[in-house]
Amino acid sequence: MQKKEISKAVINRLPRYYRYLGDLLEKDVVRISSKELSQKMKVTASQIRQDLNNFGGFGQQGYGYNVEYLHSEIGKILGLEKKYNIIIVGAGNLGQALANYVDFERRGFVFTALFDVNPQLVGTKIRDIVVRPADELEEYIKNNQVDIVAITVPKIRAPILAADLVKWGIKGIWNFAPTDLNLPKDVTVENVHLAESLMKLSYRLSTKKSQEEKHKTAVEGSDKTNEKKNKED
* SS3 of residue 5 by DSSP: coil
Cα separation, 74 vs 97, in Å, equals 27
CATH code of the domain made up of 8-77: 1.10.10.10
Query: What is 84-194's CATH number, 3.40.50.10490, 3.10.50.30, 3.40.50.300, 3.40.50.720?
Result: 3.40.50.720
Tens-digit pLDDT string for the chain (233 aa):
345 678 888 998 999 999 999 999 999 999 999 999 999 998 899 999 999 988 887 877 667 899 999 999 999 999 998 999 999 999 999 999 999 998 899 889 999 999 999 999 999 999 999 999 999 999 999 999 999 999 999 999 999 999 999 999 999 999 999 999 989 999 999 999 888 888 989 998 999 877 877 777 766 666 566 665 666 65
Pairing assessment for the beta strands 172-175 and 188-191 based on DSSP bridges: parallel
Alpha helices in the chain (DSSP H): 8-26, 34-41, 45-53, 67-77, 93-100, 103-106, 137-143, 158-167, 194-232
Stated pTM of the model: 0.80
Alpha carbons 62 and 65: distance in angstroms, whole number: 10
* Closest C-alpha among 131, 97, 99, 98 to residue 116: 131
Contact 108, 80 (CB under 8 A): yes
Phi, psi of 204 (to 5 degrees): -65, -40
Q: Render pLDDT for 112-145 as a digit per residue (tens, 0 to 9).
A: 999 999 999 999 999 999 999 999 999 999 999 9
Distance between CA atoms of 210 and 206, rounded to whole angstroms?
6
Ordered by start, the domain boundaries in the chain are: 8-77, 84-194
